[in-house]
């Protein structure tokens, strides 16, 4: 696997390529990259995956506050794990967006040696969104670039798309999102100072901050999670919300109670894998009711996490 930069140039006719955002790197993306590798191997060429450093919607509509499923670092790592020969993170610019599909195919041919372009099953490129796959093939024939369509992902969890996965995460349906991606939704951050109310309730929590503001948060509520801290995997439950029972104002917080764990991890990096939804956040009648609910949440989370881990063995 070789990483490319935008200034790299590849020999004419040396690659079979596909291009897309690949946000979430879900099962449909895996089907596409697997097909790409097969096509490249059959032709004796290198397989090239081109992705964008920033989502086109973030560039073209910066005020829309568009959220991503995963940060760039994780997206590149997951794409590399799919095994293409070459990976090119490309800066998406208004100038690039202004190219029609014909000019775009020509750019890929001349700069990155693309002799075969593998189009995702329902992918569109170039500013002329009304064009069809047949139009892409016609442009390709004129430019000496073969355009082929990848098969649709037809597995157990079809249909799948980045838009579908975003909607599932935003609704708190993290189990469905996990099935679509083939892995749990993850948030990365750092343990920071919080409200310090949990220890008095018997449920000490680590407050998770410094999360990439461009990454989508699951719907407010409680979740069973696997936490990764200092190379260790720990079981726990996380609450995303505004803590209405404790009257802590309107500030959104992400707190995780790690089971059977009492070490001081303030300042350490932490990653949360969202395994299952537990309940929505709601205001309770007092601290006693809150403690009873947290006890139920912990018991439910432990059972769900054990069930998940059993399936991974």
Task: Quick: pLDDT tens for 225-252.
Answer: 999 999 999 999 999 997 655 555 567 8
What does the longest C-alpha to C-alpha distance in the chain come to?
A: 73
pLDDT per position as a tens digit, 108-127:
999 999 999 999 887 777 66
64: pLDDT confidence band, cut at 50, 70 and 90? confident
pLDDT for 54 equals: 93
Mean pLDDT of 256-261: 95
pLDDT for 201 equals: 65
Token output for 172:
């708190």
Do 307 and 247 contact (CB within 8 A), yes or no? Answer: no
Question: Which uninterrupted H or E stretch holds 167?
Answer: helix 162-170
Task: Give the whole-angstrom CA distance, residue 202 versus residue 2.
Answer: 50
Mean pLDDT of 86-100: 92
Task: Give the whole-angstrom CA distance, residue 256 versus residue 235.
Answer: 10
Q: Select the more confidently predicted residue: 65 or 160.
A: 160
* pLDDT higher than 60, residue 10: yes
pLDDT for 22 equals: 97
pLDDT per position as a tens digit, 193-227:
866 555 556 788 999 999 999 999 999 999 999 99
How big, in percent rounded to 5, are the helix, strand and coil portions of the chain? Answer: 35, 25, 40
11: pLDDT confidence band, cut at 50, 70 and 90? very high
- What are residue 51's DSSP bridge partners? 89
* pLDDT higher than 90, residue 283: no
pLDDT for 127 equals: 66
Task: Give the whole-angstrom CA distance, residue 71 versus residue 50.
Answer: 16
Q: Residue 19 to residues 104, 179, 306: CA-CA distances in angstroms?
A: 11, 24, 38
* pLDDT higher than 60, residue 74: yes
pTM (2 decimals)?
0.92
Do 248 and 242 contact (CB within 8 A), yes or no? Answer: yes
């Amino acid at each position: 696997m070789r990483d490319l930069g935008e200034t790299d140039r590849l020999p004419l006719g040396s690659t079979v390529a596909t291009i897309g955002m690949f946000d979430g790197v879900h099962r449909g993306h895996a089907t596409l990259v697997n097909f790409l590798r097969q096509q490249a191997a059959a032709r004796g060429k290198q397989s090239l995956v081109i992705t964008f450093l920033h989502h086109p919607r973030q560039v073209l509509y910066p005020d829309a506050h568009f959220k991503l499923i995963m940060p760039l670092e994780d997206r590149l790592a997951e794409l590399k794990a799919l095994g293409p020969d070459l990976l090119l993170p490309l800066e998406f610019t208004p100038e690039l967006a202004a190219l029609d599909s014909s000019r775009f195919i020509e750019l890929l041919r001349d700069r990155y040696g693309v002799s075969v372009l593998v189009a995702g099953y329902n992918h569109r490129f170039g500013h002329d969104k009304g064009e069809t796959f047949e139009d892409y093939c016609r442009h390709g024939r004129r430019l000496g670039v073969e355009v082929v369509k990848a098969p649709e992902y037809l597995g157990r969890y079809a249909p799948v798309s980045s838009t579908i996965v975003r909607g599932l995460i935003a609704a708190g349906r993290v189990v469905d999102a996990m099935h679509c991606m083939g892995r749990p939704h993850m948030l990365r951050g750092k343990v920071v100072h919080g409200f310090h109310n949990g220890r008095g309730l018997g449920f000490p929590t680590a407050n998770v901050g410094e999360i990439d503001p461009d990454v989508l948060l699951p719907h407010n509520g409680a979740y069973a999670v696997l936490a990764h801290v200092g190379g260790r995997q720990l079981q726990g439950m996380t609450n995303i919300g505004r803590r209405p029972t404790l009257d802590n104002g309107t500030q959104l917080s992400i707190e995780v109670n790690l089971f059977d764990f009492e070490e001081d991890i303030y300042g350490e990096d932490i990653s949360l894998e969202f395994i299952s939804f537990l309940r929505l956040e709601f205001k309770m009648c007092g601290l006693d009711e809150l403690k009873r609910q947290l006890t139920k949440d912990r018991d439910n989370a432990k059972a769900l996490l054990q069930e998940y881990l059993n399936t991974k063995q």
